[in-house]
Amino acid sequence: MKSRLVSIKRIIENEIGERIDTRNRRKDLIYARAVFCKTGRDMGLSLSAIGKVINRDHATVLHTLNNVYHHAEKEVYYKRLYEVLKVVVDEGAQTEEVKDRFDATKELSDMIEELQRDNDALRYKLVLIERNKDKFTELFEGLTEEDIDEVYNKLNIFVKVIKTRVYR
């Protein structure tokens, strides 16, 4: 059971890019330790056993669980990290499987976040178009299709020139 906890610690350290058993009190490390402690507790380990893996005593682990973890779970990154680790621990997977599942879940989560950012950008563009569509509708009233194509081609060139300005 302790070797699984050490594996969980390594996964967290790989994810954040730093060791969590240091004395550093940066918020990101404190939250990562909180996720580790909560995961260890979910595994049914004692406070002392959890603390030994990260060079802390049982009282520090208890404090982390009671006072720090609820702050960490409010942040999406640490909440996601905990949820992934919880699934892995609940399934009782082996170390290599744990890492593979964690990496796959993280990759999917990152893709979802990127798609959400893209979606937000497209929504913003749509709002701009909706706001300004009346301006362009008035411009094109009474024009033939050939005239509209000509205006479009000239606007396209003008937009390219604006986008390549050096002195923005």
Cα(113)–Cα(121) distance, integer angstroms: 12
- Structural domains in the chain, CATH included, are 2-92 (1.10.1750.10)
Per-residue pLDDT in tens (0 to 9) along the chain, 168 residues: 567 888 889 889 988 889 999 999 999 999 999 999 999 998 889 999 999 999 999 999 999 999 999 999 999 889 988 988 887 777 665 555 656 666 777 777 788 888 988 998 999 888 888 888 777 777 788 889 999 899 889 988 988 888 888 665
Residue 144 identity (one-letter amino acid): T
Q: Provide the token pair at 74.
A: 């409010």
Residue that the structure tokens 């030994």 belong to: 52
Q: Which residues of 22-43 are buried (b: 16+ CB within 10 A; e: fewer)?
A: eeeeeebbbbbbbbbbbbbbeb
Contact in structure between 27 and 12 (CB atoms under 8 Å): no
Give this prediction's pTM.
Answer: 0.57
Q: In the chain, what is the straight-line distance between the N-terminal and C-terminal CA atoms, in Å?
A: 59
Radius of gyration of the chain (CA): 26
Q: Provide the token pair at 132.
A: 């300004």
